[in-house]
């Protein structure tokens, strides 16, 4: 039983490498497709916007850049700080798989009542609540992904995780703003 529940916040003891990359990639494409049909923009690591205003490629670029920058900075952190041999595929795969909680908000937005709504409405507060919960879940998964794939511990782990997040957020935001 504890084994099963740990899959929700740390599946990376069982899944890594290609076995995390392939389902993670499929998950990213599903999230992107749902985001496109519902107009749910993940325009930064911790940003969400609701607008059916762009083509599919724009949503795909958002998804890929959100994953790519964090994966790059985490891989570089692992390379520079870890004494272990870091495999790029572990970092790519586990960070991809960590994004799975982001499927929830666009799934909810497929319901007609969540398609367009007032700024001051229960739909908006509900969606932001769901997004916040999925963001926290994502961060927990990402932290474990980083910890396991880069084999870092204690202060090095926490500091490099925070720095990677901040740098990825800056790069993602600048990149996405440049293509609007």
Partner 1 sequence: MKPGILIFFAFLFIHLNSCSQDLKKLNTSDVDKSKVKIAQDFASSFLSKAKNGGTYQFQNEAIAIVKNSLTGETQKLLYEQLKSQFGDFQSLEYAESWVQGAGQENLIVRLKGDFTKSNKKLEIRVVLDKSNKIAGFWVKPWSDML
Which residues of the chain form contacts with partner 1 (CB under 8 A)? Answer: 39, 49-55, 58, 115-122, 124-125, 179-180
Cβ at position 139, least distance to partner 1 in Å: 24
β-pairing verdict for 40-41 and 49-50: antiparallel
Q: Smallest distance from the beta carbon of 129 to partner 1, in angstroms?
A: 10
CB of 51 to partner 1, least distance (A): 5
Which is closer to partner 1, CB of 117 or CB of 143?
117
CA-derived radius of gyration, the chain: 16
Contact in structure between 82 and 140 (CB atoms under 8 Å): no
d(CA 145, CA 98): 7
Nearer CB in complex with partner 1: 16/34: 34
Query: Smaller CB distance to partner 1: residue 41 or 144?
Result: 41
Minimum distance of partner 1 from residue 106's CB (angstroms): 12
Q: Which is nearer to partner 1, 84 or 115 (CB)?
A: 115
Handedness of CA 150, 152, 156, 157 (dihedral sign): positive
Nearer to partner 1, 54 or 82 (CB): 54
CB 122 to partner 1: min, Å? 5
What's the residue count for the chain? Answer: 180
Burial of 80 (0-12, 13-18, 19+ CB in 10 A): exposed
How many of the other CB atoms lie within 10 Å of CB of 54? 15
């Amino acid at each position: 039983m504890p084994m099963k529940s740990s899959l929700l916040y740390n599946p990376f003891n069982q899944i890594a490498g290609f076995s995390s990359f392939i389902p993670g990639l499929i998950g990213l494409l599903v999230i992107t497709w749902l985001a496109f049909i519902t107009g749910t923009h993940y325009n930064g690591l911790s940003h969400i916007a609701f607008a059916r205003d762009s083509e599919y490629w724009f949503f795909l670029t958002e998804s890929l850049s959100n994953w790519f920058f964090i994966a790059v900075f985490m891989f570089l952190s692992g390379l520079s700080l870890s004494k272990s041999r870091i495999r790029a595929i572990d970092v790519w795969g586990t960070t991809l798989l960590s994004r799975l909680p982001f499927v929830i908000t666009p799934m909810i937005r497929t319901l007609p009542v969540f398609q367009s709504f007032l700024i001051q409405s229960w739909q908006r507060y509900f969606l932001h609540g769901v997004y916040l919960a999925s963001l926290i879940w994502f961060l927990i998964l990402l932290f474990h992904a980083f910890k396991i794939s880069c084999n870092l511990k204690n202060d090095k782990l926490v500091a490099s995780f925070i720095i990677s997040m901040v740098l990825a957020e800056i790069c993602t935001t600048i990149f996405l703003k440049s293509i609007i």
